[in-house]
Structure 1
């Protein structure tokens, strides 16, 4: 698939065919594409928890959404694969304390934004687009803050890793159109500025 077509076809898919598992070799290739994401200092401070066994997926949903089901989550649960994307700040602080970077104090305040989360987000997007390229659907969504520790405990996630979100992956099933899409894309001239930030016309 041409890259332009991948971008045009990209959607957040919320319903999947529960009878069509993703072949392991395809899922493995999709996740490996995430490892090609850029990262500050080539730190690569990320981790990916891939859940395909029914008992693992059930555990994921029970620890992150138990008692909070609504229509879209019920449909999302059909996904045959879940990839949880996690960032590791300590990897970045250690990397930038090395001699070629020189921030030996490991002061987090040196970072204008949390690059560990941004870079993991880059990796998640590569996984998302790679799924589309293989004819699959995918959706990126967050884990509720009050559920994070329960999720980490259930799956033995080390303390230094922070989940930034999860991707469902699978073959698309017929679904309703998200009401959010009625908003449409913002006009290009409102979001793209050349040379100086131009105020939008009143």
Structure 2
């Protein structure tokens, strides 16, 4: 539990990657093996992972992200978050932070295995396992859903996904450009209640 807890408390979003950092296939396989040990609705295991290494495909995905950011995404995020988080996101999208990741893993749900209503609860736990396993191996990751929620059809076309596979997240993976500090989190007790909402823990 100590080692697991340490990884869980250290894992955080990375939005700037070392473009020369290597991620061997063996490490990707270890990460994916952890991912598929997540729970899913009725053990349907509907996850689909497309590991994108091609510079051309990664650039195309990054261009979609840039288009969404400049078409209103930036204003939406600025209205909801603080300056530091906004600047980090803007750097990731507009100044090459995400584009420098050597790998993008698009995570989807096979809707022939699970009803769409159960897709999030069946796919996002696998994505979380992916993030934790990558952190345990020393990699940086950033899970994003804007790309797959705003550009479902372009992502499907780019990756040759059938209509039965719903893209749900894109995970950027690579060696961090710099050492990542611990994530900022409010204490759990600030959002935990006893018996009913607003009753102090």
Query: Scaled by the length of structure 2, what TM-score is found?
Result: 0.77
Deviation at 1:92, TM superposition (A): 2.0
* Deviates most, 62-71 or 143-152: 62-71
Residue 121 (1) aligns with residue 128 (2): no
Partner of 2:143: 140
Q: 1:151 aligns with which of 143, 150, 155?
A: 155
- Cα deviation for residue 59 of structure 1 reads 2.8
The CA deviation at 1:77 is: 1.1
* Matching residue within 84, 97, 109 for 2:106: 84
Shift in Å at residue 16 of structure 1? 0.7
Query: Aligned to 1:157, what secondary structure does the other structure show?
Result: coil
Q: Which moved more, 1:129-138 or 1:56-65?
A: 56-65
Per the TM alignment, residue 188 of structure 1 is displaced from its structure 2 partner at its CA by 2.8
> In structure 1, what is the equivalent of residue 192 of structure 2?
192
Q: Partner residue of 2:34?
A: 33
Kindly state the Cα deviation for residue 153 of structure 1 after the two structures are TM-superposed: 1.0
Range moving further from structure 2, 184-193 or 38-47: 184-193
CA shift, 1:198, in A, is 4.2
Q: What is the deviation of 1:147?
A: 1.8
Q: Which residue of 2 aligns with 1:163?
A: 167
After superposition, the Cα gap between the structure-2 partners of 1:65 and 1:151, relative to the gap in structure 1 and judged at 3 Å, is: farther
Alignment partners' CA distance in 2, 1:26 and 1:55: 23
Distance (whole Å) between structure 1 residues aligned to residue 148 and residue 105 of structure 2: 16
CA contact (8 A) 1:17 1:172 kept: yes
Once the two structures are TM-superposed, the CA of residue 53 in structure 1 deviates from its matched residue by 2.4
Map Cα deviations across residues 110-163 of structure 1 (whole Å, 9 max, x no partner). Answer: xxxx32112100000000000000011111011153422111112111101111
Describe the SS at the equivalent of 2:37: coil
Q: What is the CA RMSD across the aligned residues, in angstroms?
A: 2.5
Which structure 2 residue ranges, 5 or more long, are not aligned? 71-89
Match status 1:71 vs 2:91: yes
Deviation at residue 63 of structure 1 after TM alignment: 4.0
Q: Would the aligned equivalents of 2:41 and 2:121 in 1 still touch at CA under 8 Å?
A: no
- For the pair shown, the structure with the greater C-alpha radius of gyration is 1
**Residue 48 of structure 1 aligns with which residue?**
49
TM-score, normalization: structure 1? 0.77
